[in-house]
Structure 1
Amino acid sequence: MLYVAMLHIVDEEKNQKFRPAHLEYINELYKQGKVVMAGPFTDKKGGMAIYKADSYEEAYKMAAADPVIVEGARTLEVREWSPLDFPLD
């Protein structure tokens, strides 16, 4: 199943400080096949990551361990996602 983690910046100073660790963390999960894709919003107010997990709890645990969440630089919202299959009939 896929889960979207919305990561809104609440402390810009902490975000800048912990962003390298955040990128390293996301990249490692990508290499493990646990992150499908991730990236910043164009308004520079946060970003999102799409996790592949067996349960909401597993996805939330991975997202909550992100350094920018642990250090209070960003808030976290995780939601299960069901992408559409195209073309739609």
Structure 2
Amino acid sequence: MLYVAWLSIIDPALNQQIRPAHLAYLNELYKKGQVVMAGPFPDGSGGLVIYRANSEDEARTLAEQDPVVAQKARTLTLKTWSPLDFPLPQ
């Protein structure tokens, strides 16, 4: 199952300080197949991570262990995501 984590920056200075650890964390999860895709919003307000996990609890644990969330530089909103298969039926 896929889960989307919306990570809004609430402490820009702390976020900048923790960002290298955040990127390293996401990179490790990507290598394990637990992160599908991630990236920042162009307006600088935060970013989005798509997790692959067996349950919402597992995805929440992964997201909450992200240094930017654990150290309260960003807030976390987590949603189960069901992407559409294309082409869509007519």
- 1:31-88 deviation line (CA, Å, top 9, x unaligned): 0000000000111100010000000000000000000011110000110000000000
Alignment of 1:1-89 (within 5 A): 1-89=1-89
Give the % identical residues: 61
Q: Which amino acid aligns with 2:66?
A: D
TM-superposed CA distance for 1:20, in Å, is 0.3
**Unaligned runs of at least 5 residues, structure 2:** none
- The 1-side partners of 2:19 and 2:83 are apart by 28
SS at match of 2:87: coil
Q: Which amino acid aligns with 1:70?
A: A
- 1:2-40 deviation line (CA, Å, top 9, x unaligned): 000000000000000000000000000000000000000
- The 2-side partners of 1:2 and 1:55 are apart by 9
Q: How many aligned positions are there?
A: 89
- The 2-side partners of 1:29 and 1:63 are apart by 10
SS at match of 1:85: coil
- The 2-side partners of 1:59 and 1:25 are apart by 14
- With normalisation by structure 1, the TM-score equals 0.99
Q: Which amino acid aligns with 1:32?
A: K
